[in-house]
Amino acid sequence: MTPALKIDCKSVDAELDRQFGRPGQPLSQLARQHLDECERCTKLYRYLTQTAPDFAVSPELQRRISENAKRSLKPVSRLRSTSVRAAQLLIVFVLLAAAVTSMMKILGIEAMSPAQLAGISAVLALGVVLLSRSLAWQMTPGSMQRIPAWTAVAILGAGLLVGTVVLFPWQTPEAFVERGWRCLRTGLALAVPAAILFWLLVRRGAFLNLTTLGATLGAIAGLLSVTVLQFTCNMQEIAHLLVWHGGVLVISTVAGALIGRSAGRLRRSHLT
Amino acid sequence: MFESMNAGIVGTTTRQFDRTGESDLPALMIGYQQGDPEAVDELVRRVSPSLLRYFARANGSGQDAEDLLQECWVRIHKSRHTYQPTEPLLPWVFAIALHTRLDGYRKRRRRESKEMLVARLPEVAVEGAQLSSTTEVEFARLLEQLPESQREVILMLKFSDLSLEEVARATSSTVGSIKQKAHRAYAKLRQILEKEGR
């Protein structure tokens, strides 16, 4: 294939992009010329734009569907807008994190320099904004998810990794396992009720992919634990933060995804 | 040459879903949310053909399409409070349809892996679900050769009559990602057509 032909074939691709969902638009001059010359593209264009026959849904089937729906038909209160739902999740996160932190000693804040405190707080804030937005999007099928859920989780993970490496020093860990294990246990013990609370907040949503929902709920609950640990733990060095604090986030995200996956299987088994 | 052929393709192509009457679909959905039985009847009448076509084409046969259609409406009913009037209705409906189909497919696959095939029963086709022309049979065969993610995008674009943005909404993806999958699918289809000397 010559490069020129390749460019022309792409003009047909662009034409198809334009035609889907907006049928009957006139073809561009470039695409028209190319379709006259390229048999392959002509076939492809024909396959993709040709009318598919209409499907008759029998009146009996339509009646059955309508009757089924009408049997439990009553007015429903609509979900609030995505922004309001995201703001609610964000507020609950901040209040919960503040409440738990205030009940513990704020040794972490005392141990961090102002730059470290500002930097890691910015990363944590970005994470909670992303995850609450993602959960709010997932509640409504067909919403425009500008950042897909798994991308949001990946951005959070990468942000925490980079933020920790850039902001905190590498020191020889002291009682690495013993102290770390304590942080991990505290973090996970906090993540479980947090995940349940966030689930209660979003349960009215129509979640289509329960694995993704589970992972996002696990991630936001894990992030809450990481936030509390960050402000209350005085071991502010890379290895401890990545292994033990980061471990809480990883475990809660993976556990959430696995629980979601099992719930998805259970739902499928009830499929009529 | 293409002038006349183009007229043949585009001229008769009113495309599958009658989008001229689409603007009042959100109003019907709001009626459904408010408990209006007439809105339910009208919405079922208007949206079901498009959903049935999608299920029948995506499954390769019409056998389960009617079951999936009913299951999809059950889910639409349960999720009706999540529809936002400011958002387009079709991506909301097809997002539910997509997951109904995927769940049905996974359940069927698990069931089939546990069952021992004794005899193949004749397929019961939905009225109108048969591939009506040679071109459609050829196209269905071509689609089978695409990877699942690309096939899903092409199915939604062609048989659900959604735009790239609407498919992105229905699949919880981004427009860029859908465009990329569609373009890869076009390239792959061209390759197959070339290999087969069509």
d(CA A44, CA A131): 41
Is B130 in the A-facing interface, judged by CB distances under 8 Å? no
Encode pLDDT of B45-57 as tens digits.
999 988 998 888 8
Q: What is the ipTM of this complex?
A: 0.82
Look up tokens 């065969």; give the residue: B141
Confirm if A123 and A205 have CB atoms less than 8 A apart. no
Helix axes A39-49, B2-12, angle to 10 degrees: 10
Q: Do A206 and B166 touch (CB under 8 A)?
A: no
Of B33, B126, B190, the CB nearest to A75: B33
Confirm if B54 and B17 have CB atoms less than 8 A apart. no
Encode pLDDT of A27-71 as tens digits.
777 777 888 878 888 888 888 877 666 678 889 999 999 999 999
HSE, CB side, 13 Å, CA atoms: give it for residue A141. 29
Encode pLDDT of B78-109 as tens digits.
999 999 998 899 999 999 999 998 888 777 77
Please give the C-alpha separations between residue B17 and each of A113, B77, B135, B168, B173, in angstroms, as whole numbers: 61, 21, 20, 18, 22
Encode pLDDT of A134-188 as tens digits.
999 999 999 988 899 999 999 999 999 999 999 999 887 778 888 899 999 999 9
Question: A14: which 2 tokens?
Answer: 């662009």
Please give the C-alpha separations between residue A181 and each of A41, A100, A157, A217, in angstroms, as whole numbers: 62, 19, 20, 23
3-state secondary structure of A87: helix
Mutate to test the interface with A, among B166, B186, B188, B196 (most CBs of A within 10 A): B186
Q: Do A51 and B128 touch (CB under 8 A)?
A: no
- SS3 letters across A117-146: HHHHHHHHHHHHHHHHHHHHHHHCCCCCCC
Q: Looking at residue A268, what is its pLDDT?
A: 77
User: What amino acid is encoded at A266 in this protein?
Assistant: L
Nearest CA in chain B to A145: B172
Q: Do B81 and A51 touch (CB under 8 A)?
A: no
Encode pLDDT of A17-33 as tens digits.
887 766 667 777 777 78
Percent of chain A with pLDDT over 70: 93
d(CA B198, CA B196): 6
B19-28 long-range Cβ contacts below 8 angstroms, 24+ apart: B19/A21, B19/A23, B19/B161, B21/B46, B22/B89, B22/B90, B25/B89, B25/B90, B26/B85, B26/B88, B26/B89
User: What amino acid is encoded at A171 in this protein?
Assistant: Q
Residue A221 scores a pLDDT above 90:
yes
| Residues on chain A touching B35 (C-beta within 8 angstroms) | 73-76
Residue B13 scores a pLDDT above 50:
no
| Residues on chain A touching B182 (C-beta within 8 angstroms) | 13, 16-17
Element (H, E) at B173: none
- Count other C-beta atoms under 10 Å from residue B114's C-beta: 7
Of residues B196 and A3, which shows the higher confidence score?
B196
Residue pairs spanning A and B at CB distance below 8 A: 239
